[in-house]
Amino acid sequence: MSIAPYTDLSRLCIHTITTKPWDIETAARRYAAAGVKGITVWRDALEGRDIRQTGNMLRNEGLSIVSLCRGGFFPATDKNKRKLAIDDNRKAIEEAAALGTSLIVLVCGADPAQNLEDSRKQIQEGIETVLPEAAATGVKLAIEPLHPMYADTRSAINTLAQANDMAEAIHSPWVGVAVDVYHLWWDPALEQEIKRCGENDHLFAFHVCDWKSPTTDMLLDRGLMGEGCIPVRQICSWVEATGFTGFNEVEIFSTQYWKEDQPVFLEKIIKAYKEHT
Residues lying near its own copies in the complex (CB under 8 A): 112-113, 115-116, 147-149, 151-153, 158-159, 162, 185-188, 211, 213-215, 218, 228-229, 231, 234
Cβ 158 to its own copies shortest distance, Å: 5
Cβ 104 to its own copies shortest distance, Å: 25
Cβ 36 to its own copies shortest distance, Å: 29
Cβ 39 to its own copies shortest distance, Å: 30
Q: Which is nearer to its own copies, 113 or 169 (CB)?
A: 113
Cβ 189 to its own copies shortest distance, Å: 9
Q: Which is nearer to its own copies, 128 or 186 (CB)?
A: 186
Which of 100, 194, 107 has its CA nearest to residue 142?
A: 107
Q: Which is nearer to its own copies, 148 or 243 (CB)?
A: 148
Q: Which is nearer to its own copies, 104 or 167 (CB)?
A: 167
Phi, psi of 240 (to 5 degrees): -55, -40
> For residues 160 and 192, what is the distance between their CA atoms, to the nearest angstrom?
10
Q: Which is nearer to its own copies, 114 or 172 (CB)?
A: 114
Residue 261, phi-psi category: left (phi > 0), alpha (psi -120 to 50), beta (remainder): beta
Q: Which is nearer to its own copies, 48 or 188 (CB)?
A: 188
Cβ 273 to its own copies shortest distance, Å: 21
Residue 215, phi-psi category: left (phi > 0), alpha (psi -120 to 50), beta (remainder): beta
